Amino acid sequence: MQQYKNVFTRLIKFSLSVSWHWFTISIIFTAIAVFASTLIPMFTRYAIDEGIMANNFNIILRYSLYVLLAIIISSLSRIVSAYSGSRFAHGVSHELRIRAFSNTIEQSLDFFDRFTTGQFISRITNDSERISMFLNAMSRFFINDILTVIIASYFMFTMNVMLAIISIVIAIIASYISFRSASMIRPLIDDSRRIVSEITSIASNDLANIKTVKGLALEERELRVYSDRNRDLYTINIRIARMRSIYGSMPFLLIGILATFILFYGSIMIIRGLMSIGELTAFMSYLFMLMFPLTMIGNIFADYQAVIVSARRLFELIDMRPNITINNNISLKSIRGEICFRNVWFGYVKGKYVIKNINLRIEPGEKIVIIGPPGSGKSTLLKLLMRFYEVDEGSITIDGIDIREINIEDLRRNIGYVPQEPYIFNRTIFENIAMDRKWITFDDVIRAAKIAKIHDFIETLPNKYNTIVGERGLNLSGGQRQRIAIARALVGDPKILLLDDPVSNLDAETEKQLVDDLEEVLRGKTAIIATQRISLTKLANRIIVMDNGEIVEEGTHDELIARKGLYYRIYMSFLGEGDRIEER
């Protein structure tokens, strides 16, 4: 419980630091609204006892006006408190989301290997949504309910102590029941939410990979999985509805019975002259006024633990530090482009190495093609050089400086990297190439696009560089996407260029064209190209053959062919493939 308290205190402090003024306004106006509306039964009581019973029209008029005034004040105040309470809650959850998200994307890549995307999305969206709802409830309903209970009880005590005590006891029982039922329903609601997000991810996964699904004829299986989960959701939602309708009406039943008793008992007291009609009316009004707040208080307490869990998870994301250790932060202005891997070992999982004792020295301006079967560690080697991951053993240097000591932004500014599956954002072509790097000018973008041989195509588009591309924009072909990504990597004119399987998803004709054009792209740069395709080796000064995390062969095309090793086998199978293509 202690730790709950700390997270809660932190949540409150955080919330107030983000938006204390909206919170304060909400509290003040909620209080005003409660005061005004709890006065109404008292005004009614005087209107009855001193006005109606005494046949005094002026008093009736006066208290009627008071009631009208109280209603106007409380309604206006509720408008203000509802608005400011929502501003408060949404302001806080907005801030929580931004902080959690911005800290999440700062993490190094191995962090994303450990969690699934779905886990983040649900953390960031659901948890902040729950907190927002709770804060909204807290800043308005909770204060409203507590004050209503206190003030209404006070007036009830002034009128009839014994009836007041009975009412309060029953009321506490009623709120306890609603607390218990809310606590029982809560986990079901969580289950239901979880299933909804599973269903969403099943659907979005299937649709995103629709080619695979259809290619493997998995439609029926996927539909079955989908409908099974949907049935679970249906069942659980029905259970929730059943429990809600049963338990939800219990407090009302209890208080209703109590009200009937008070009506009966109070009437007898009135006949005996121990209570006035106005008092009984007011008493009954307060009793009904208590009903809703009491069930709500129970609900808010039931939410408390879930909110603490959500808050803790979000704070965890906010507190995370990237596990790349920032060392001396040597800044790099311009480099020659010499790269050296020395005894480099690396594993995504501790002890399970996928890069084994790599030693590789690349001279400035040299073009290296790394070739090898899938899973041999080619992409990983490039990622280590980008410092997406930290090496386990050994070191990687650029111009003799250990990359761990280089300021990470400088490092990445000096290396143009084209990942295996470059992502095209749903923005303009210009933005897709410049990528928010403020120092990049329009001319830089055009120059890069020309070298990547995509400029002419862009010029044919109606909005040229301002054409929106990506998921909801213009659909680009594989080759065009690849060229945009190359332009993106080239645009800062980095000395080093890393291309990860640049032709892997292209048809033979596009592949040939791109390989030809890459020659100019690489001019004057140190380049490493990871690939499974023989076609790219013609760009290489030196070919490195990797297998199972190790460098197994090294040399020029002719040297490697003469060795009749792995390279030779890859080459022969490539020729075989070429023959088949020819035959068709």
- Point out which residues bind Mg ion (CB under 5 A): 379
**Relative orientation angle of helices 128-137 and 277-319, to the nearest 10 degrees:** 150
Give one DSSP letter per residue of 68-102, joined into a string: HHHHHHHHHHHHHHHHHHHHHHHHHHHHHHHHHHH
Of the two residues 37 and 531, which places its CB atom closer to Mg ion in the complex? 531
**Which residues 6+ apart lie within 8 Å of 71 measured at CB?**
36, 37, 40
Do strands 542-547 and 367-371 pair parallel, antiparallel, or not at all (unpaired)? parallel
In the complex with ligand ADP, the residue whose CB is nearer, 51 or 419, is 419
Residue 379 interacting with ligand ADP (CB under 6 A): yes
Region of 89-97, 143-151, 160-168, 370-378 interacting with ligand ADP (CB under 6 A): 370-378
**Site stretch for ligand ADP (CB under 6 A), options 377-385, 456-464, 505-513, 557-565:** 377-385
- Give just the sign of the alpha carbon dihedral 128, 134, 135, 137: positive
CB closer to Mg ion out of 136 and 379: 379
Reduced to 3 states, what is the DSSP secondary structure of residue 278? helix
**How far apart are CB 535 and ligand ADP at their closest, in Å?**
17
Window contacting ligand ADP (CB under 6 A); options: 151-159, 161-169, 258-266, 369-377: 369-377
The residue type at 66: Y
Nearer to ligand ADP, 296 or 499 (CB): 499
User: Considering beta carbons, is residue 123 or 378 the nearer one to ligand ADP?
Assistant: 378
Residue 377 binding result from ligand ADP, Mg ion, none, given CB thresholds of 5 to 8 Å by partner type: ligand ADP
Report the run of H or E that residue 16 belongs to, with start and end: helix 2-46
Q: Select the span of 183-191, 240-248, 374-382, 441-449 touching ligand ADP (CB under 6 A).
A: 374-382
Nearer to ligand ADP, 26 or 379 (CB): 379
Nearer to ligand ADP (CB atom), residue 421 or residue 519: 421
Q: C-beta of 570: minimal distance to ligand ADP in Å?
A: 13
Minimum separation from the CB atom of position 514 to Mg ion (A): 17
Beta bridge partner(s), residue 344: 358
**Cβ closest to ligand ADP, residue 185 vs residue 382:** 382
Which x/- pattern, by CB under 6 A, does the window 110-149 give for ligand ADP?
Answer: ---x------------------------------------
Total residues contacting ligand ADP by CB under 6 A comes to: 12
Strands (E), 276-348: 339-346
Tell me which residue has tokens 């054009």: 517
- For 120-187, give the secondary structure using H, E and C: HHHHHHHHHHHHHHHHHHHHHHHHHHHHHHHHHHHHHHHHCHHHHHHHHHHHHHHHHHHHHHHHHHHH
Q: Rule CB under 6 A: is residue 386 a binding residue for ligand ADP?
A: no
Q: Which of 293, 372, 416, 494 binds ligand ADP (CB under 6 A)?
A: 372
Cα dihedral sign for 235, 237, 242, 243? positive
| Residue tagged 């209970």 (tokens) | 149
The entry of Mg ion, ligand ADP, none that residue 219 binds, CB within 5 to 8 Å by partner kind: none
- Phi/psi-derived region of residue 216, left when phi > 0, alpha when psi is between -120 and 50, beta in every other case: alpha
Cite the beta strand spans of 304-414 per DSSP E.
Answer: 339-346, 355-362, 367-371, 393-398, 401-402
Q: Is 531 in the site for ligand ADP (CB under 6 A)?
A: no
Minimal distance, residue 422 CB to Mg ion, in Å: 13
Judged by CB under 6 A, the stretch of 217-225, 252-260, 376-384, 510-518 that binds ligand ADP is 376-384
Which one of the spans 242-250, 375-383, 450-458, 569-577 is the region binding ligand ADP (CB under 6 A)? 375-383
Choose one: 238-246, 306-314, 378-386, 508-516; the region binding ligand ADP (CB under 6 A): 378-386
Please calculate the CA angle 266-270-271 and round it to the nearest 5 degrees.
120
Contact segment (CB under 6 A) with ligand ADP among 197-205, 289-297, 371-379, 425-433 equals 371-379
Q: Does 421 bind ligand ADP (CB under 6 A)?
A: no
Q: How far is the CB of 120 from ligand ADP (least distance, A)?
A: 16
375 binds ligand ADP (CB under 6 A): yes
Distance CA 236, CA 187 (A): 11
Picking from 278, 371, 335, the residue whose alpha carbon sits closest to that of residue 497 is 335
Whether the CB-CB separation of 479 and 506 falls below 8 Å is answered with yes
Among 496, 513, 352, smallest CA distance to 414 is for 496
357: amino acid identity, one letter? N
Residue nearest to Mg ion (CB): 379
Q: Which is nearer to ligand ADP, 421 or 459 (CB)?
A: 421
CB of 324 to ligand ADP, least distance (A): 15
Q: Is 534 left (phi over 0), alpha (psi -120 to 50) or beta?
A: alpha
Phi, psi (5° rounding) for residue 502? Answer: -65, -20
* Residue 399 contacts residue 335 (beta carbons within 8 Å): yes
Residue of the chain from 132, 376, 432, 531 that contacts ligand ADP (CB under 6 A): 376
Question: Which CB atom, from 38 or from 379, has the smaller least distance to Mg ion?
Answer: 379
| Cβ nearer to ligand ADP, comparing 279 with 500 | 500
Q: In this complex, which beta carbon is closest to Mg ion, that of residue 74 or of residue 380?
A: 380
Contacted by 298, from ligand ADP, Mg ion, none: CB < 5 to 8 Å by type? none
Stretch that binds ligand ADP, among 162-170, 221-229, 368-376, 452-460 (CB under 6 A): 368-376
Q: What is d(CA 484, CA 478) in angstroms, rounded to the nearest whole number?
A: 10
Choose the contact partner of 576 out of Mg ion, ligand ADP, none; CB within 5 to 8 A by kind.
none
Closest CA to 292 of 154, 149, 169: 149
Cα–Cα distance measured from residue 289 to residue 78, given in angstroms and rounded to the nearest whole number: 16
Q: Token digits for 269?
A: 């007291």
CB 505, min distance to ligand ADP, A: 14
Residue 571: partners with Cβ closer than 8 Å, 6 or more residues away: 534, 560, 561
Query: Which of ligand ADP, Mg ion, none does residue 387 bind to, with CB < 5 to 8 Å depending on kind?
Result: none
Near ligand ADP in 323-352, by CB under 6 A: 348
Interaction site with ligand ADP (CB under 6 A): 113, 348, 354, 372, 374-380, 530
